[in-house]
Structures are given as structure tokens and as C-alpha cells.
Amino acid sequence: GVRFSGCTVHFVDEGVDTGPIIIQAVVPVHDGDTAETLAARILKEEHKIYPQAIRYFAEGRIIKNGRRVKIKNAGQDDAAMHNPPLDR
């Protein structure tokens, strides 16, 4: 089955969830997960990446070129690289 799920903050375009991606987070799917337990883990990550995307936008750090998005001055410790530990 599916081993990973996650959430994405992206620009809005004419499609549904098809805009250029600004930031993402990944969460593991556990064997005993229900829709509710998985959604709760995803929501925790959404609460981290959504404010970060807004911060990038407010700071003028988002560079959008067509469907590509870059974050100015994004380093290894930056949340643009947000990838929480995947415990099983």
C-alpha cells in the first residue's frame, strides 16, 4: 500500500491542486492508520509549512518562473527543505 502522504502549499491556477509548488512536507503512512490519524499527522505539518510559505512571500523570497518556484537564500536549515523524520 501507500507508504507516504503529505501536504503541499502551491500557487493557485485554473486547475485543482495543480499550481506550482512552493513547499511540501511528507508524513509516513502507518499500518494501523485510519483516515483520521493520518489526517492529524498531515495537519501538524500543514501548520508548519503554510506559515513558512506566507513568510517567504512576505519577505519577497519566492521567485516564480513559469511552473518553477525557487526560494531566495534557501539553505539546508531552511523550512523549504522541511522533511520531518519518518518514523515507522
Which superfamily is assigned to 4-81 in CATH? Formyl transferase, N-terminal domain (3.40.50.170)
Q: What is the pLDDT of residue 83?
A: 54
Q: Is the distance from CB of 33 to CB of 47 less than 8 angstroms? A: no
The larger pLDDT score, comparing residue 77 to residue 20, is at 20
> What pTM does this model have?
0.74
Give the tens place of pLDDT for each residue, 60-86. Answer: 999 999 888 988 887 655 544 455 554
Q: What is the pLDDT of residue 88?
A: 44
Phi, psi (degrees; rounded to nearest 5) at 64: -110, 125
Task: State the chain's mean pLDDT as an integer.
Answer: 86
Contacts of 50 (CB under 8 A, 6+ apart): 9
Q: Is the distance from CB of 46 to CB of 7 less than 8 angstroms? A: yes
Interatomic CA distance for residues 59 and 32, integer angstroms: 41
